[in-house]
């Protein structure tokens, strides 16, 4: 298995994204990555499309802060995103019910 970088994971987000599930969804997620590949990215889901941009968004509806190592673990399927959050591996601010509903937009690898 190839070692992921944050850039390859974000590209994978777009590939694993289920546009059919996203009909009517419109949200902006700020992703703050800490650790080995620290940086900020924002994910905008609108009109069935997903766009990932480097940098910060002025008004995200959800903000997720997580360490690169924990993001990699979730990307590899251990633990699932909800368990990672419950274990304090990711800090999420914003509408939690929306955060949970967004998880279904991404098919597991």
pLDDT in tens, 6-60: 888 888 887 778 888 788 888 999 999 999 889 999 999 888 888 999 999 999 9
Domains for the chain: give ranges and CATH numbers: 6-103 (3.30.1050.10)
Other beta carbons less than 10 A from residue 90's beta carbon: 19
Asked if pLDDT for residue 109 goes beyond 80, the answer is no
Coil, helix or strand for 2?
coil
Task: Give the N- to C-terminal CA distance of the chain in Å, as an integer.
Answer: 12
Measure CA 50 to chain center.
11
């Amino acid at each position: 298995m190839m070692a992921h970088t944050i850039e390859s994971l974000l590209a994978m987000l777009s590939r694993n994204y289920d546009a059919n599930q996203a009909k009517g969804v419109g949200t902006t997620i700020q992703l703050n990555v800490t650790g080995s590949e620290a940086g900020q990215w924002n994910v905008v889901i609108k009109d069935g499309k997903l766009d990932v941009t480097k940098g910060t968004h002025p008004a995200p509806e959800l903000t997720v802060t997580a360490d690169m190592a924990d993001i990699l673990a979730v990307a590899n399927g251990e633990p699932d995103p909800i368990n990672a959050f419950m274990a304090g591996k990711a800090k999420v601010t914003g509408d939690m019910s929306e955060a949970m509903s967004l998880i279904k937009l991404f098919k597991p690898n």
